[in-house]
Amino acid sequence: MVHSPLISARGISYVYPDGSMGVQDVSIEIFRGERVGIVGPNGSGKSTLIFLLSGLLKPTKGEVRIFGLTPDKKNFESIRRKIGVVFQNPDDFLFNPTVRDELLYVPRQLEINEEKMRQLLLEYSEMFDLKEILHKPPFRLSGGEKKKVEIASVLIYRPEVIFLDEPTANVDGKTKRMVAEMMRKYEGTVVITSHELEIIKRLCNRVVLMSKGRIVEDTTINTLDERMFEEIGVV
Amino acid sequence: MVHSPLISARGISYVYPDGSMGVQDVSIEIFRGERVGIVGPNGSGKSTLIFLLSGLLKPTKGEVRIFGLTPDKKNFESIRRKIGVVFQNPDDFLFNPTVRDELLYVPRQLEINEEKMRQLLLEYSEMFDLKEILHKPPFRLSGGEKKKVEIASVLIYRPEVIFLDEPTANVDGKTKRMVAEMMRKYEGTVVITSHELEIIKRLCNRVVLMSKGRIVEDTTINTLDERMFEEIGVV
Amino acid sequence: MHIPDGYLDLSIAGLFFVLTLAVLGYSIFKLRGAKLTSLFGVLSAAIFAAQMLNWPIPGGTSAHFVGGSLAGILLGPYAGSLAMAIVLTIQTLVFNDGGITAWGANVWNMAIVNVFVGYYIYQTFSKFSRSFSAFLAGWLGITIAAIFAGLEIGLSTSFAYGLSITIPVMGIWHAVLGIIEGIITAGVVSYIATRRADLLEKKEVGKASFVLIAGLIALSPVFAYLAEEVGYSEPLENAAEMLGLEENPIYESIFPDYTIPGLDPYTGTLISGAIGVLIVLLLAYAVKYARSSRKDT
Amino acid sequence: MHVVLEKTLKNASSYFQNFFIHDYSSNGAIHLIDARIKLLSTIVFVILAISTFEFDKLSFLLFSLILISAILGLSLKRLFSRVWLFSIFSFLVVSPLLIQDLKYPFLFTLRVTVAIIAVQMLVMSTSFAEICSALRSLKVPEIFIHGLWLAYRYILVVFQDIISILLARESRRVAKGSHADLWRKGGESVGLFFLRSIERAERVQLAMASRGERVIQSKFKFGLLEIIYITLSAFVALWCIVL
Ligand SMILES: Nc1ncnc2c1ncn2[C@@H]1O[C@H](COP(=O)(O)OP(=O)(O)OP(=O)(O)O)[C@@H](O)[C@H]1O
Ligand SMILES: Nc1ncnc2c1ncn2[C@@H]1O[C@H](COP(=O)(O)OP(=O)(O)OP(=O)(O)O)[C@@H](O)[C@H]1O
Ligand SMILES: [Mg+2]
Ligand SMILES: [Mg+2]
């Protein structure tokens, strides 16, 4: 059982309710401790794949297994506890009345004690430079501030698997470096999409290339053939 | 009159309705044909400044003059015709039922003839690779597709001054190159914010550095002192 | 409580069209020069969303959140009634939720009665307690609007139930469900009050306007009763009569000399019906082929 | 409970989204006809339907409308899927009266059904922008048209927001949570959602300002297609009256 994958998808497709093809016949296995970078041009299905692999969307065809389980009502909470997802669009993600509530949304559900909670809040708001905006509602922040709050409120509960969809869009250099640093040190499993190849190269040991809803390449970072990127339009 | 600025702001401040400071005591002049890059860490007031300089927000203190005029009800349309703004968040920008309507929103108001309109649509949807999504509602697109639609629907009416707020966030390499190329060829005046310094260095001849709502540096690209960037957290 | 097409007599539907256009026209006149704000757009959209979740109730039409009082409180009675009228128009023209001929009555109930009643209740009692008055406005506003709806369908002879059934059914159901309406109204109003009090500034309405609109609302049932008394329930027959066709059924005018023994009026109607359908078929194909006369864009 | 509630909401709003961008992208002959003319003929059909209880007239209307829809390029399957529920509902409402009059409930349902079909023919073949400009050329006041257009666009935004918020909540729901919690949080969520929508809308307003706010008027189309459609509608009306 050592080598059974954490997350596996076999032949999954997702068609959006309006008939648009999200991903098409994708198979992938993700193992503990891997750092997977998903790259591909706009609209190639990266975000859709993340929603599928994290169990938030149900594939319209095929099956996803997470920790060996098919996600359903019964195991929903326990899966969610272990999987964190940073959405591409922070506006889709942030819904609490203040930044503080946003950060503590999951810790409060886990009924962590007050003291520990205060400490977590302090640590993360310092790290992401959010102290001055803790009292503000998230929809009144700047683009990058929103993204920072989003990343912080996922990292704060240290899920085993983290999906990061474009974590560095709209954020400033300092935060980018900080996020990269944190992810490098992270012991869990990490899946990242990004249009900044620098980030992928720095953080990932495996690269998945998508195009038109399909995986067209899945390889280690060392054997990566960059000509393909250019062809598809990633760089 | 040759050297009167297109846009000028003297000592403007903007305080958001909830009391947050957007920008503080900023003065800047923008001349015809300039390519201005605005950089600064998250929350430093770049987006707010763009809204002010383009006349969309009224400063709470000080005055902005655009083409020598103070924006008011009477000159509103003529100013809007000449100034295009690409918002940082495409969700705040796109409001038409389909991508096609989005692209043609301004051309239709300008009562361009049918033939010309079809041609424009073809040209821009080809350039930005939007042909397959012309019939889709913009809110059902991927993050980068939204951004592309947004940029295309501003460039399509060729305003004299273009403000681009983070044009390259979430977009793929091919589009980035294409946008950069278009902007380089553009004869009008361009103001860009970006957290990717590459873009700024490639496109701009003047750089404005912001921090905490103020302009802390305003210089040509050649005399730029990059140490300052690091200090403030831009890189 | 959206009344569909076919539940109201034409006379009643017509009367409420007139009344509604009068009050709505007056509201638009009062709003001249004003710009519609984003609050207006969002409120319409939110009310639209809330009204989507509706469930049928027996002996009446259906029940759901209406939002008229909320619109009145947040936008003032004139813009509020305009917003509600817009919501109802979109529902009619995009979802067919509420009939086209019943548009007048629906707007009257939900966009005029509900908005104005809700607004005045709120203004009268908000001195004492903001959330209680908002609750009262939401609850009574929808109940009174529902009673009007019951009255309109009850007076109509097309809808075979009488007032003694429709008014209690609509009124009582909505008085019960209206409690939820009241709670939501109060919740939203007090939340907005703490975060964006600027949205709740008092919107003044002149005394004369108040008396005028209150008078119209109060008298509308009487008008409806009178309209039903003078109105006729079978206008098509009258139209046919005017055209002089009533005594001369169509199959006879088509086949004047062609009298087959045993061709009873029923078969006659059937034949003329079939001929009509045949002509419709031909004309429809003509439209279809005329299509090629137009370039696709 | 709140799982059920959220599920319902989510289904409702995604259902709604698909419903809303209806099939006017498909290109039948009826889609090409000028919206004004469709609007007026719809009103005529509805008035015809609701001003009679005669079986002959109603069934003639029903047949004619279905024929027209089928020939001019509407999917009958879609048409019926939008009609049947309400027809059944109407029948149920008046079914107690079966005891007094066997015919009445059926005729009543029939006329309601015909009226709905007439309206659906318009709805399924006309985009909302076209409806707005049709209303404008029928002299509906500008502020009303503007409001219609504004509301229509915000509806799209608001519904997209509901869906994404629900997904976001789900992505971080790591414990079941109690019912009391739901009610406590529920009120707050509604208020917050509302506030957020308003401020989002204020920014969208900026976007509209930056690109002009004129409601687009689609061109008045009047050609052979319209003339024959008018003839067709007029014939249906006339035949219905004399039948
Ligand atoms: N809500 C939606 N409804 C319908 N279609 C959608 C929706 N979201 C995305 N799509 C479509 O699904 C396809 C894949 O989208 P996805 O968001 O997964 O792309 P992506 O690889 O993440 O792109 P990006 O780099 O721009 O973020 C695209 O063609 C897109 O238009
Ligand atoms: N709608 C709003 N309401 C209240 N405060 C706001 C709002 N939008 C921005 N702010 C605040 O104004 C300040 C400047 O924000 P702005 O969006 O201009 O930053 P920015 O430089 O564009 O940042 P980024 O790089 O993240 O886009 C920030 O402190 C932010 O919190
Ligand atoms: Mg994506
Ligand atoms: Mg910004």
Q: What is the DSSP letter of A195?
A: S
Backbone angles phi, psi at D75, to 5 degrees: -80, 120
**Residues lining ligand 2, CB < 6 A?**
A 133, 140-145, 170; B 16, 18, 20, 22, 40, 42-48, 88
- With a cut of 80, say whether residue A156 has pLDDT above it: yes
**Lowest-confidence pick of C67-71, C91-95, D61-65:** C91-95
Q: Do D171 and A89 touch (CB under 8 A)?
A: no
Q: Is the CB of A48 under 6 A from ligand 1?
A: yes
User: Nearest Cα to D149, choosing from D58, D209, D222, D217?
Assistant: D217
Neighbours of C23 (CB within 10 A): 25
CA-proximal residue: ligand 2, atom 29 (nearest) = B43
Cα(C80)–Cα(B12) distance, rounded to whole angstroms?
36
pLDDT: which is higher, C49 or A202: A202
Q: Kindly list the partner chains of chain A, i.e. chains with 3 or more CB atom pairs below 8 Å.
A: B, D
Q: How far apart are CA C214 and CA C218, in angstroms?
A: 6
Cβ atoms of B14 and B201 within 8 Å: the answer is no
Strand partners, C250: none
Instruction: Assess A195–B contact: CB distance below 8 Å, yes or no.
Output: yes
Burial of A134 from C-beta contacts in 10 A (0-12 / 13-18 / 19+)? middle
Query: Residue A87: what residue type?
Result: F
pLDDT of residue A1: 47
Give B 92-121 residues with CB within 8 A of chain D. Answer: 92-97, 101, 105-106, 108-109
**To the nearest whole number, what is the mean pLDDT of chain C?**
81
CB atoms within 10 A of CB A24: 17
* pLDDT (average), residues D219-228: 82
Interface contact D108-C6, CB threshold 8 A: yes
Query: Which ipTM score applies to this complex?
Result: 0.77
- Taking the C-alpha atoms of residue C83 and residue A117, their distance in angstroms, rounded to an integer, is 45
Listed residue (D43, D32, D107, D42) closest to D72, CA to CA:
D32
- DSSP annotation of C112 reads I
Q: Which ligand lies nearest the alpha carbon of B52?
A: 2
Q: Is C280 exposed, middle or buried, given 0-12, 13-18 or 19+ CB atoms closer than 10 A?
A: buried
Token pair belonging to C41: 């757009």
The CA distance from B97 to the nearest CA of chain C, in Å, is: 14
In which element (H, E) is residue B164 found?
A: strand B161-165
Give the residue-averaged pLDDT of D5-31.
59
Mutate which of B12, B20, B147, B229 for ligand 2? The one with the most ligand atoms within 8 Å of its CB, which is B20
Q: Amino acid identity of B35?
A: R
Nearest chain C residue (CA) to B117: C297
Span D6-24, average pLDDT = 54
Query: What is the token pair recorded at C112?
Result: 């005029």
Q: Report the C-alpha gap between B234 and B212 in whole angstroms.
A: 12
pLDDT for C238 = 57
Cα D193 to middle of ligand 3, angstroms? 24
Length of chain B: 235
Q: How many CB atoms lie within 10 A of CB C42?
A: 29
Is residue C297 less than 8 Å (CB to CB) from chain B?
yes
Interchain contact C293–B (C-beta under 8 A):
no
* Ligand 4 centroid distance, CA of A145 (Å): 9
Mean pLDDT of A211-229: 87
Does the distance separating the beta carbons of D12 and C52 come in below 8 Å? yes
| Pairwise CB contact (< 8 Å): C198 & B17 | yes
Cα–Cα distance between D40 and C247 in angstroms, integer?
30
Q: Which residues contact C230 (CB under 8 A, 6 or more apart)?
A: C11
Pairing state between β A189-193 and A35-39: parallel
Check CB contact under 8 Å for D164 and A80: no
On whether any CB of chain B is under 8 Å from the CB of A150, the answer is no
- Which residue has tokens 């922070």? A90
| Ligand 2 centroid to residue C75 C-alpha, Å | 29
Q: B48 CA distance to ligand 2 centroid (A)?
A: 7
The number of the ligand nearest the C-alpha atom of B39 reads 2
Cβ pair A140:D199 closer than 8 A: yes
Cβ proximity of D94 and D108 under 8 Å: yes
**Token duo for residue C32:** 């001249």
Report d(CA C206, CA C115) in Å as an integer.
16
Which residues are placed with Cβ below 5 angstroms of ligand 4, an ion? A 142-143; B 46-47, 88
Residue B39 Cα to ligand 4 midpoint, Å, equals 10
| Rounded-to-10 torsion of CA A172, A174, A176, A177 | 160
Pairwise CA distance, residues C45 & C55, whole Å: 20
| pLDDT greater than 70 at residue D17 | no
The tokens describing A227, both together, are 């000509």
Residue type, C165: I
Say which of B93, B108, B139 has its CB closest to residue D207. Answer: B93
Please give the structure tokens belonging to residue A3.
């080598």
What rounded mean pLDDT belongs to chain D?
80
Check if the beta carbon of residue C285 is closer than 8 Å to that of residue D67.
Answer: no
Long-range contacts of B153-156 (CB under 8 A, 24+ apart): B153/B94, B153/B102, B153/B103, B153/B105, B153/B106, B153/D211, B154/B84, B154/B85, B154/B86, B154/D211, B155/B84, B155/B124, B155/B182, B156/B103, B156/B104, B156/B106, B156/B107, B156/B120, B156/B124
pLDDT at D131: 87
From the alpha carbon of B141, which atom of ligand 1 is closest?
31
B17 and C297 in contact by Cβ < 8 A? no
Instruction: Look at residues A50, A61, A58 and name the one whose alpha carbon lies nearest to residue A84.
Output: A50
Q: Which amino acid, C281?
A: L
pLDDT digits (tens, 9 = 90+) for D41-69: 999 999 999 888 888 889 999 999 999 99
Residues in chain D within 8 Å Cβ distance of B57: 206
Tell me the per-residue pLDDT of C108-159, one tens digit each, with 9 for 90 and over: 999 999 999 999 999 999 888 888 999 999 999 999 999 999 999 999 888 8
Amino acid at A10: R
Which chain D residues contact residue B84 at CB under 8 A? 210
Chain C segment 188-227 residues within 8 A of B by beta carbon are: 196, 198
List all residues of chain D from 43 to 72 with a beta carbon under 8 Å from chain A: none
Size of interface A-B (CB pairs under 8 A): 110
What are the residue boundaries of the structural domains of chain D, listed by start? 1-22+128-212, 23-126+220-243
Among all ligands shown, which has an atom nearest to the Cα of B142? 1
pLDDT tens digit sequence for B23-38: 999 999 999 999 999 9
Q: Which ligand is nearest to the CA of A49?
A: 1
Q: Which ligand is nearest to the CA of A19?
A: 1
Instruction: Report whether pLDDT(C252) > 60.
Output: no
Q: Which of A88, A78, A94 is nearest to A48 (CA)?
A: A88
B161: enclosing H helix or E strand? strand B161-165
pLDDT of D21 strictly over 80: no
Q: Per residue in D176-198, pLDDT tens? A: 766 666 666 666 677 777 788 88
Contact D128 B97 (CB under 8 A): yes
Q: What are the helix (H) ranges across chain B?
A: 46-53, 76-82, 90-93, 99-109, 114-127, 143-155, 173-185, 197-203, 226-232
Q: How far is the CA of B172 from the centre of ligand 3 (A)?
A: 10
* Backbone φ and ψ of A209, nearest 5°: -105, 130
pLDDT, tens digit, for every residue of A163-216? 999 999 999 999 999 999 999 889 999 999 999 988 999 899 999 999 999 999
Express each pLDDT in C189-245 by its tens digit.
888 888 777 777 766 777 888 888 888 898 888 888 888 877 654 555 555 555 555
Q: Has residue A149 got a pLDDT over 90?
A: yes
Distance of CA B73 to the CA centre of its chain: 22
Which residue of B lies nearest to D215 if distances are taken between CA atoms? B109
Report pLDDT digits (tens) over B47-97: 999 999 999 999 999 999 999 889 887 888 888 889 999 999 998 898 887
Backbone angles phi and psi of C5, in degrees to 5: -65, 145
What is the structure's pLDDT at C250?
47
Q: Would you state the torsion angle of the CA atoms of residues D119, D124, D128, D129, taken in this order, to the nearest 10 degrees? A: -120
Smallest Cα–Cα separation from C62: which of A178, B213, D85, A90? D85
Q: Which residues pair with A10 in a beta bridge?
A: A63
Q: Whose CA is nearest to atom 29 of ligand 1?
A: A43
Nearest atom within ligand 2 for CA of residue B16: 4
User: B211 has which bridge partners?
Assistant: B214
User: How far is the CA of C109 from the CAs of A198, C94, C150, C220, in angstroms?
Assistant: 62, 20, 10, 11
D204 and B84 within 8 Å at the Cβ level: the answer is no
Cβ contact C117:C139 at 8 Å: no
Each residue's pLDDT tens digit, B8-24: 999 999 999 888 999 99
* Contact call for C297 and B114, based on CB within 8 A: yes
| Residue pair C177/D179 in contact by the 8 Å Cβ criterion | no
Neighbours of C7 (CB within 10 A): 30
Q: Map residue B9 onto helix, strand or coil.
A: strand
